[in-house]
Structure 1
Amino acid sequence: MRRLALLSFAMAALIAGPAFAQAIDDPEANVVEELVVSAKLPGPAWWRISDGDTTIYLLGVLQALPQGQGWDTSVLERRLDGAFAVILPPEGKAGLGDIPAALALRGRLKSEVPLDTAAASLAPKLARARAALGKAPDAYRQWSPLGAGVAMAGDYRKAVRLESAEPERTIARLARRHRVKVRPAATYKVMPVIRTAVRGHSPEAGLVCLEGVLDEVNAGAGAARAAARAWAMGDVRGAISGPRNFQRCLLGLPGMAELERRGTEDEVEALSAAMKTPGHAVAVYGVRSLVARDGVLDQMRARGFQVSTPGE
C-alpha cells in the first residue's frame, strides 16, 4: 500500500464554499505531463527504467480496486519470468506491544461534544452522507471530526466494495508462482506515525479531513470505479483523475506530507540500489507517485537513468 493508504488502514483499525479551507501540502498535486501517457500494451500502464545492463519495469497501481475488477496480467507475468525481485511500496509494521497505545489513541478520536455540534457547518453534507451509507441520523455522534472522517471512510469503502488489498494481492500471488522474491522499498513503524497525526492535529485539520470524506461519500462510487476501469485499460490520465479527497484529508495531518516525501525518497533509493544488479526486476508503485513532479520517475531521470513511458 502507499504510505497514506497505510495510515488510513491503520487509523481505521483504531475505530476508523468549504467553511474550513486550509492550504494542504500535497507532494503529488502536480504531474509531469510527458510521463502521463496511455499504454500500448494490454492491461495497466508500465514505465521502464534502464541503464547499460539493468532494466526495471514499473507498474503503476491504485490504492484500491472495486471488488471483482478484472485486469489483464499477461504483461506482468511475462515480466516476472526471470526477474530478480518485485519491489513494493513501503509497508507498515505494528506489534502486540502497540495494542495499548492503539486503544489509547482510539479514545482520543472520540469526543464529548456531539459531532453535529462540532461540525455544525457541515450538517447538510453529514446528513446526505449518513443517508448514502444507510446510517442512522445519529451515526458517528460520539466521534471527533477526525474520528468520524476515518470511520466514515472505512464504511464507505465497505459500502462500495473497494478492496485495499488489490491489486497488490494478485501481484504477490503471481510473483510466488514465478518464484520471484517480493520485498518492500522500506518498512516503517506505524504507531509513531499515527500518534503524531492523532495527538498533533488541530480542530481545523479534523474538520478539513471530515469534509473531504463527506465530499467523496456524497459524490458516490462512480468516479472511483471509472478510475479503476481506466487503470485496467492503461489510461493513465483517467486513472490519476480518481477522487483524492481522503488522501488530501490525511495530508493535512501532522507529519503526513513529510511521510509521503520520505516514502518517495525510499522508493527511489530502492530502485537505485536494484539498478546495481544486472538483469531485470519489477517494481509496483502508486501510479500518481510515479508521474508526480519530483516523484519517482522524475527523480530517477535526474539521477541519469533512462526512463521510458507506457507509449514507447
Structure 2
Amino acid sequence: MNSPQRYLAAFQGLALLLAASQSVAQEPAASENAADNAIVVTAQRSGAPMWTIDTPSGTIILVGEIRAIPKTTPWEPARLEEATRQADRVILGARPRISPGDVLRLLFSGSKFTKLPDKTVASEYLTADQWARLSALGAVHEEDYARQSFLLTSFQMLRKELRFNRDTADEPSEVVSKAADKANVPTTRAATLRGEDIIDSLADAPPAAHIPCLNAAMDAVEAGPAIVEQRAADWRRYDIPSVMANPLESALGQCWPWADETLGSELRTIWVDKIAEVSTAKGTTLAVVPLRVLAESGGVLDQLDARGFDIAGPEWK
C-alpha cells in the first residue's frame, strides 16, 4: 500500500428550531422569497435530484449526490454552478483531517488493512456457499482473493470488474465546491473527522464485519456492468427508490465507512445537526449530501420529516 487515499476514498439530539407560529415581522420579505425561489429553480434545472426545506428566514436546498456519475449521464452541472453562485452559503460533506502521523501509521500497518489476520484465509470466515462464490469470481477474473481483506477485495471487484469509477463526470460536490470558491460563497464542511478515528475504525473491525460488504460487492459484480449506467439514469430520473435498490449503490452503502456502526452513525447525525443549525439562517443554503445518507430508511430525510420539517422534492421511499 503506498497511499492512505486508497482506503479513504470511499469518504464523509436534534432540536426542532421552527416555532409553531410566526408573527408577520418574522416572515421573509417578498423579494427574499423570490430570490430563494429563483435559486431553487436554477438548481433544479441541473437535473440532479434535490429536496427543499422552506424556513421562516430562507430556504435549504439538499442536493442528493451519487459518486462516479458516467459522462454519458445527461445532467447540467452549469446550472448547479449558477445556483451556487447565488447561494448565501454552501455545505459540503465531511472531510478527513490526515496528519503526518496518520500517514506513517498507514504505511507501517499496511498488511493489517490489506490482508486477513494471522495468516488466516477467507474460507475460515465464510460459509461454504460464500467461499464457493468468491472462488468462482476469482477464477473468472484471474484473481486470488484467499488472503486479501474482505474490504479490499470488495473495492477491487467493484473498481476492476464493474469499472464504475472510469470515464466519470464531475460530481455535484466538486461542481459546487469549485463554483463557491470562485464566487467567494462561504463554504463549510458538515464535519472534519480525525484521521486517527478513521484509521482506528478500519483497523479495529474484525474480518466478519466486512462480510456484508463482500456479499453486496459480489451481487453487484454478478449483476454486470449495466448497473452502473442504470444507477445514474435512475438518479437523473429522480427514481430514488431504484437508485437505492441498485446493486452498486447497495454495495457502496454496505461497505466501510457507511456500514461502520460508530463512524457511519456519526456521519448521519452530523448532517441532521448541520441542517437543523442552518434552518435559522437567513437566505439560501445549498448543501450537497450523499444520496444514500439522505434517502435510506431512517436516514436524514426520514429524520427531518419526523421532526416536522416541510420537505419538498422527489419521493425517496
Instruction: Provide TM-score, normalisation by structure 1.
Output: 0.73
CA contact (8 A) 2:162 2:221 kept: no
Alignment partner, residue 187 of structure 1: 192
CA contact (8 A) 1:12 1:150 kept: no
Give the counterpart of 2:142 among 120, 136, 146: 136
Alignment of 1:217-232 (within 5 A): 217-232=221-236
Give the counterpart of 1:50 among 49, 54, 61: 54
Distance 1:175 1:12, change over 3 A: same
Q: How far, CA to CA, are the matches of 1:66 and 1:191 in structure 2?
A: 33
- The aligned length equals 275
Are positions 1:248 and 2:242 aligned together?
Answer: no
Distance 1:208 1:158, change over 3 A: same
Which deviations, in whole Å up to 9, do the C-alpha atoms of 1:62-112 show, x marking residues without a partner?
Answer: 133235544123552443243111111222221221123213442123243
CA contact (8 A) 1:11 1:194 kept: no
Give the counterpart of 2:174 among 169, 173, 179: 169
Alignment partner, residue 209 of structure 2: 205
Alignment partner, residue 201 of structure 2: 196
Q: How far, CA to CA, are the matches of 1:105 and 1:64 in structure 2?
A: 29
Distance 1:118 1:267, change over 3 A: closer
Alignment partner, residue 100 of structure 2: 96
Structure 1 gap segments, 5+ residues each? 1-8, 17-38
Q: How far, CA to CA, are the matches of 1:169 and 1:124 in structure 2?
A: 40
Distance 1:199 1:298, change over 3 A: closer
CA contact (8 A) 2:92 2:189 kept: yes
Greater RCO, CA 8 A, separation 6+: 1
Q: How far, CA to CA, are the matches of 1:241 and 1:162 in structure 2?
A: 23
Q: Secondary structure at the match of 1:71?
A: coil
- Structure with the greater alpha carbon radius of gyration: 2
Instruction: Provide TM-score, normalisation by structure 2.
Output: 0.72
Distance 1:294 1:41, change over 3 A: same
Alignment partner, residue 65 of structure 2: 61
Alignment partner, residue 283 of structure 2: 279
Q: How far, CA to CA, are the matches of 1:15 and 1:305 in structure 2?
A: 32
CA contact (8 A) 1:46 1:310 kept: yes
Structure 2 gap segments, 5+ residues each? 11-42
Distance 1:13 1:310, change over 3 A: closer
Q: How far 1:305 sits from its partner (Å)?
A: 3.3
Percent of pairs with identical residues: 25
Alignment partner, residue 24 of structure 2: none
CA contact (8 A) 1:58 1:285 kept: yes
Distance 1:103 1:157, change over 3 A: farther
Are positions 1:298 and 2:306 aligned together?
Answer: no
Q: How far, CA to CA, are the matches of 2:246 and 2:275 in structure 1?
A: 27
Alignment partner, residue 152 of structure 1: 157
